[in-house]
Amino acid sequence: MSRIGKLPIQIPQGVTITVDTDAITVVGPKGQLVVPHLSDVTVALDVQDGFAVVTRKDDERIAKAQHGLQRALLNNAVEGVTKAFEKKLEVNGVGYRVEGGGTEINMALGFSHPVKYTARAGVNLEVNKMEITVSGIDKQLVGQTAAEIRSLKKPEPYKGKGIKYADEVILRKAGKAGK
């Protein structure tokens, strides 16, 4: 039995879940998300208690794999439409600058040209000095956007210059040892 899959999902006040044969729609105060409904699992809603339970149809290997996945996707959607997700990135380096916000940011990252990044729909970018906050209701989209911004200038191990996650620890290497 999947440890993640057997946990019930608590549905907060103001969130409605609609289960169809191929998709599950989650509507909440922050917006609406559509989660694919996997074939070998079923989602049962208990409206009185405010819970959703994911069960698998049989004990086949694919059903076991989809059990925890379906529960995690549905839980992330419920969490996203109630309080949204965010990732923070820090820009470190002499001469590095970040400006803009909304859906587009402009960065000077030590290249011969400025770098412009435009976020996809559903993701908001906020700049505060040398910190970029990526936020939105779709966890996968927020994480992908943060990873794309980080990949523009990954942190290097000698001085730590580049774009890193706020909670990331960069292991430093020693420089050249002189005689």
Establish if 150 belongs to a structural domain. Answer: yes
Question: Mind giving me the DSSP string for 106-172?
Answer: EEE-SSSS-EEEEPPTTEEEEEETTEEEEEES-HHHHHHHHHHHHHTSPPPTTT--EEEETT--PPP
d(CA 20, CA 73): 15
- Whole-number average pLDDT of the chain: 93
Tokens of 49: 């208690």
CB 123 within 8 A of CB 101: no
Shared domain for 70 and 98, answered yes or no, is: no
Shared domain for 93 and 128, answered yes or no, is: yes
Establish if 173 belongs to a structural domain. Answer: no
Shared domain for 144 and 91, answered yes or no, is: yes
**What does each C-alpha distance from 135 to 52, 79, 102 come to in angstroms?**
26, 13, 10
User: Parallel, antiparallel, or unpaired for β 97-101 and 162-165?
Assistant: unpaired
**83, 101, 135 - which closes a domain:** 83
Establish if 115 belongs to a structural domain. Answer: yes
CB 109 within 8 A of CB 93: yes
Which amino acid, residue 92?
Answer: N
Range of 115's domain? 85-165
| pLDDT tens, residue by residue, 59-109 | 999 999 899 999 999 999 999 999 999 999 999 999 999 999 899 999 999
d(CA 137, CA 158): 36
**83, 107, 122 - which closes a domain:** 83
Establish if 170 belongs to a structural domain. Answer: no
Shared domain for 94 and 157, answered yes or no, is: yes
Shared domain for 89 and 61, answered yes or no, is: no
**83, 118, 144 - which closes a domain:** 83
Output the pLDDT for position 1: 62
Shared domain for 79 and 106, answered yes or no, is: no
Positions in the chain short of pLDDT 50: none
pTM of the model: 0.89
Establish if 59 belongs to a structural domain. Answer: yes
Establish if 1 belongs to a structural domain. Answer: no
Shared domain for 72 and 27, answered yes or no, is: yes
d(CA 31, CA 15): 10
When divided into structural domains, the chain yields a total of 2
